[in-house]
């Protein structure tokens, strides 16, 4: 039990533990991810990267991820779940950093607030996610080529997209991406954005209704066309 709090103990080499958070939202039928710009210094000067930071001595990685999410995206109490831990010795060229990656699902209305709530650092920005095949996922801004992310963040993003696609089919995470009241068409649009392909309207609606996860509210959403019934979730638990 001697001197374990110095960097010389072989069990405690100089090593940091960071969290990186893949924050997803769906806006206008498109899956989007929140990215931050790195400072103009090595490594990856000015590159886009996932929001993240070091885990503090008194917090768990879960806490750190929630804190990062609040700081960078300005949202709290959203769906946040551990994704995977990335630990290649050279994933950070400066020194050893192990990254515990998380993914979060944020409704577009909350997300809009978050993206401009940051004052100290450069504002994070929403990028669209392009993921036709299962093996690739890239972030891009409309009309521009995909960006290459810093560190191994492209791999983390890819892993996160695979995860939410797989999870969407058997756990009700689609609801996390919508405001409290929503139309079934909006919910379907979220599913299509996450899955990356269209789904059948009638099958989708009957399956959702049969699941008992949503309840019809008495309000309707008016627009230039036929009004749509607004629904709400029957359970508010994660």
d(CA 92, CA 62): 21
Instruction: Name the minimum Å distance from CB 226 to DNA.
Output: 3
How many residues touch its own copies (CB under 8 A)? Answer: 34
Of 2, 6, 133, 237, the residue at the interface with its own copies (CB under 8 A) is 6
* DSSP run (H or E) holding 202: helix 201-211
Instruction: Name the minimum Å distance from CB 32 to DNA.
Output: 21
Query: Which option in its own copies, DNA, none does residue 201 bind, with CB closer than 5 to 8 A by kind?
Result: DNA
* 58 CA to centre of own chain: 24
Counting Cα atoms < 13 Å in the Cβ hemisphere of 198 gives 4
132: which residues sit within 8 A by CB, 6+ positions away? Answer: 196
Assess 185 for contact with DNA (CB under 7 A): yes
DSSP 86: E
Assess 181 for contact with DNA (CB under 7 A): no
Assess 106 for contact with its own copies (CB under 8 A): no
Of 37, 67, 96, 165, the residue at the interface with its own copies (CB under 8 A) is 96
Q: Can you read off the two tokens belonging to residue 10?
A: 């072989």
Instruction: Name the minimum Å distance from CB 206 to DNA.
Output: 6
DSSP labels, 140-197: E-TTSPPBPPSTTHHHHHHHHHHHHHHHHTTS--GGGGS-SSB-HHHHHHHHHHHHTS
Binding string to DNA for residues 74 to 103, with x set by CB under 7 A, is what? ------------------------------
Query: Which option in DNA, its own copies, none does residue 206 bind, with CB closer than 5 to 8 A by kind?
Result: DNA
Residue 57, classed as helix, strand or coil, is: coil
Binding string to DNA for residues 133 to 172, with x set by CB under 7 A, is what? ----------------------------------------
Specify the residue, 53 or 146, whose C-beta has the smaller distance to its own copies.
53
Strands 48-49 and 30-37: antiparallel
Q: Kindly list the residues in this chain that would bind DNA in the complex (CB under 7 A).
A: 183-185, 200-203, 205-207, 220, 222-229
């Amino acid at each position: 039990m001697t001197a374990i709090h110095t960097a010389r103990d072989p069990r405690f080499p100089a090593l940091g533990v960071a969290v990186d958070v893949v924050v997803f939202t769906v806006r206008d039928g498109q899956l989007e991810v929140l990215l931050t710009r790195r400072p103009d210094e090595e490594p990856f000067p000015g590159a886009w990267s996932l929001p993240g930071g070091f885990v503090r001595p008194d917090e768990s990685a879960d806490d750190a991820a929630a804190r990062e999410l609040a700081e960078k995206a300005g949202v709290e109490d959203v769906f946040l779940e551990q994704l995977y831990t990335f630990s290649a010795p050279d994933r950070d060229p400066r020194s050893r950093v192990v990254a515990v990656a998380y993914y979060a699902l944020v409704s577009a209305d909350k997300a809009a607030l978050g993206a401009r709530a940051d004052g100290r650092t450069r504002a994070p920005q929403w990028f669209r996610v392009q993921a036709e095949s299962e093996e690739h996922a890239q972030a891009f801004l409309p009309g521009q080529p995909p960006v290459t992310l810093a560190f191994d963040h492209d791999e983390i993003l890819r892993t996160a997209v695979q995860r939410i696609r797989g999870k969407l089919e058997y756990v009700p995470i689609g609801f996390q991406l919508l405001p409290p009241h929503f139309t079934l068409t909006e919910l379907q649009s979220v599913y299509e954005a996450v899955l990356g392909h269209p789904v059948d309207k009638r099958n989708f609606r009957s399956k959702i209704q049969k699941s008992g996860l949503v309840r019809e509210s008495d309000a309707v959403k008016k627009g230039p066309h036929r009004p749509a019934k607004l629904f709400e979730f029957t359970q508010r638990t994660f």
